[in-house]
Amino acid sequence: MFSYKEEFKKSFVTRMERKGMEKTAELAYETLWEMTQEWIQKRWNRTNQLYRDNNEKKLYYFSIEFLIGRVLGQNLINLNFYDTVKEGLDELGLQLSEIEELETEPGLGNGGLGRLAACFVDSLASLGLPGHGYGLRYKGGLFTQHFVNGYQTEQPTQWIQQEHNVDIRREELAVDISYYGEIQVVMGLDGLKVNVENPEWVKAIPYDMPVVGANGGTVNTLRLWQAEVSDRPFPGREDYAVYEHETAKITDRLYPDDSLEAGKILRLKQQYFLCSASLQTILNNRSFSIEALPENAAIQINDTHPALAIPELMRLLIDDHALSWDQAWDITTRTISYTNHTILEEAMGKWDSRLIQSLLPRIYLIIEEIDRRFKKSLQQQELDEEALHKLSIIENGTIKMAVLAVVGSYKVNGVAKLHTEILKKREMKELNEQFPNKFHNKTNGITHRRWLLKANHELSGLITEAIGPRWIKEPERLSELHYFAQNHSFLQDFQAIKSLKKEHLIHHLQRNQNVVVDPDSIFDIHIKRFHGYKRQLMNILHIQMLYDRIKRDPTYRPYPRTFFFGGKAAPSYHFAKQVIKMINTVASKVNSDPLARKHLHVVFVENYNVTQAEYLIPAADVSEQISTASKEASGTGNMKLMMNGALTIGTFDGANVEIFEEVGQENAFVFGMRAEQVMQYEKEKSYNPKEIIDSDSEIAQLMEELIKGEWTDGKNNVDFIVGQLMEDSDPYFVLKDFRSYSKAHEQILKAYAHPEKWAEMCVKNIAASGIFSSDRTIQQYSNDVWHLTKIPSIY
Ligand code: 26M
């Protein structure tokens, strides 16, 4: 009888033997890699053929980051080969999980925004929709984080290997990108024409990566651009070495800032490189007339980083395709749509006009013209100064990319209901009034194929045993788990799996970081980038308070808890780095105290990344989502943790609001100020943390200890933490929300004392999490923005 497993084993062994070397795990990895690539290639060719034959409208998702994580295991899962391969390898005495560990994850993103892009391309392919990702092939991804004396240090990373890379170089599709040069207006056959003389050319080479959808039915493409020297002449030939060096730098590394616009010329070069290369390929390889672009292509820009796509598309249409301004503008504004991911002022893309003028002279002229025409269109209205300020693209020598993105797009969305409301009612109120039907909400999502099927194979199996396999294709069917929320044996199985995943995490940490964790403790997990508004500081201050209580009160002997932290700080973000240092200081103090250690353990997981997330998330009991209300646009870690049966302690912020709505507040631990209150305080500047300190003796004591340096290491560390809380007036309302946070933690302890009831709450969270699958998000984008049609699956 035919057996996939036997076929796989036969082929695997033959290939291993052909390599003729020792049977190492590395060799097994190479072999498995090659086999997987062959399975994928067939399906990839078929998909591309279907696309050529059918000519449906395509989506291009432009993003400066795609944080895809390891691909081998995920591809096997999406091909439906994972179990077969695992069993086959088992029988050959090899462990698939060990082989997977040999892959270096490409860290081509900072955090939420980049990971969202990766979840989106997975969902596009899984839904059989023609949507491709366009990004940059950074040689170095996000830095590796190590702690030295408790401080974060950053090591450069290289994910690209000599062989067995995840992507394929497409030399024949290279395009040229031009920077600098002088503007010249020349008389052409049909009127004036703008030329750029003596520009500097850089070659963009695409590398294509397959994006394997569920069941291997559709394989889309993630195309990443790499910068190389161009064959074209350029003015500074004599400086070839400098040119060569500058060119290579463009895609040399990912900028490690998240929510901070650095304003550096290299960053601008990267952004333009992505936009120009991607647009040129789309236009060069089309099978329709240029006027029909909006009916054949949708371009989604992921935040303002690729917003130069708007003036660049204008440039290509006018200068290269000889369209009039009005024709070009009509096409552009029916092709491009924009997603906003933040309302933080410091993260709003702003560029110095002179920088754009010198690096991209033609683009600058076009932006000026867009701004001029938009301002002119506003003239009939009576707008006050504030409104005009909010509506200007260029102002006082700065270009505001968010305004450009809104004006040049046909749809603009926020990433959670609350966030979209804040955009419409506050941050972009005036723009929303000008373009009343442009703004809409698309609440983020996560791919359950990575965050449940791959990361928690065991829980997935239990779910399928209970409700059958249809939830995998239709994740909203997870709601059928509600029937099992009070089923004793199901709850026991759930608890057993939670314990197993805790063991897996413990084993992983033991191996990588040499820490030992109590598997019976509550796993309380706070994983995300370090930022003031995400309030890791509040979490660690609370741990200090618990320590004080244990030392002071002989009757306070709480159930053991392990507090996990994971996350990186931008290398230039001094405050965030001081918080990291403080957490490590507190960890050593708490962990080395024989009494406190029985109740509290603080573990800082070094170098948090997608791979580490896959260990941490399935093991979590408690999910910390404690941002200052109004600041977190959505959050997506909150959804991953919920889907793995962790209970959320969280504020009414971002998508937490919708999580609470879905699961019910009684199945979460909600605390803190609402966004309205926070914004009121900010407007009135009326919050004074000293009042809190004066009215709460426990907080006062904590502050005193901080000032004395009992919890910090060195003057610098004390000054920064205390300085922000007191002199800087606690901009993220840490002290204001502290007491209600602490009460919410007391509720957690109470609830955990009833294991079966706790498990019931966990299961209700999983049951309510289906709506947070990115399949739902992508289907909504497709229905409301992109209007794609599904291609028939062949497998
Ligand atoms: C900017 C300049 C220079 C270098 C890097 C940047 C930059 C990079 C990433 C700025 C922002 C970046 O990402 C912001 C981000 O991750 N935002 C998050 O997006 C998620 C997906 O929508 C949301 O869930 C988070 O709430 C939001 O913070």
Domains and CATH numbers, the chain: 55-70+105-442 (3.40.50.2000), 448-670+739-774 (3.40.50.2000)
Task: Answer for the pair 563, 541: CB distance below 8 angstroms, yes or no.
Answer: no
Q: 310: pLDDT confidence band, cut at 50, 70 and 90? A: very high
The model's pLDDT over 773-793, given as tens digits with 9 standing for 90+, comes to 999 999 999 999 999 999 876
Range in 52-61, 424-433, 707-716 with the lowest mean pLDDT: 707-716
**How many angstroms is it from 116 CA to the middle of ligand 1?**
10
Residue 43 in tokens: 């399906």
- Minimal CA–CA distance to 564: which of 524, 595, 513? 524
Catalytic residue among 223, 269, 341, 501: 341
The model's pLDDT over 265-300, given as tens digits with 9 standing for 90+, comes to 999 999 999 999 999 999 999 999 999 999 999 999
Instruction: Return the pLDDT at 795.
Output: 55
Task: Answer for the pair 50, 794: CB distance below 8 angstroms, yes or no.
Answer: yes
Helix (H, G, I), strand (E, B) or coil at 669: strand
Q: Scanning the structure block, which residue is given the tokens 């009833």? A: 754
**What average pLDDT score do residues 164-188 get?**
92
ipTM score above 0.90: yes
The model's pLDDT over 358-406, given as tens digits with 9 standing for 90+, comes to 999 999 999 999 999 999 999 999 999 999 999 999 999 999 999 999 9
Whole-number Cα distances in Å, 621 to 188, 615, 663, 761: 69, 13, 16, 11
The model's pLDDT over 83-99, given as tens digits with 9 standing for 90+, comes to 999 999 999 999 999 99
Rounded Cα distance, 517 and 46, in Å: 48
HSE (side-chain half, CA atoms, 13 Å) at 104: 17
Task: Decide if 685 is catalytic.
Answer: no
Q: Is the Cβ atom of 534 under 6 angstroms away from ligand 1?
A: no
Instruction: Return the pLDDT at 346.
Output: 79
What's the maximum distance between 2 C-alpha atoms anywhere in the chain?
Answer: 91
The model's pLDDT over 679-694, given as tens digits with 9 standing for 90+, comes to 999 999 999 999 999 9
At residue 240, does pLDDT exceed 90?
no
Q: Scanning the structure block, which residue is given the tokens 């995300």? A: 528
Name the pTM for this structure.
0.97
The torsion of the CA quartet 253, 254, 260, 264, rounded to 10 degrees, works out to 40
Q: Is the Cβ atom of 258 under 6 angstroms away from ligand 1?
A: yes
At residue 118, does pLDDT exceed 70?
yes
| Sign, CA torsion 628/633/637/639 | positive
List of E strands, 354-513: 394-395, 398-400, 412-414, 439-441
* Number of helices followed by number of strands (H, E) in the chain: 33, 23
At residue 263, does pLDDT exceed 60?
yes
Instruction: Return the pLDDT at 239.
Output: 79
**What average pLDDT score do residues 236-257 get?**
85
Instruction: Return the pLDDT at 366.
Output: 98
Q: Is the Cβ atom of 653 under 6 angstroms away from ligand 1?
A: no
Instruction: Return the pLDDT at 727.
Output: 85
Query: What is the DSSP secondary structure assignment for residue 69, as one 8-state letter?
Result: -
Q: Is the Cβ atom of 63 under 6 angstroms away from ligand 1?
A: no
At residue 184, does pLDDT exceed 70?
yes
Task: Decide if 529 is catalytic.
Answer: yes
Q: Whose CA is nearest to atom 1 of ligand 1?
A: 261
Q: What's the chain's average pLDDT?
A: 95
Instruction: Return the pLDDT at 746.
Output: 98
Task: Decide if 429 is catalytic.
Answer: no
Catalytic residue among 448, 529, 535, 736: 529
> Could you tell me which residues come within 8 angstroms of residue 541 by beta carbon, excluding any fewer than 6 positions away?
702, 734, 738
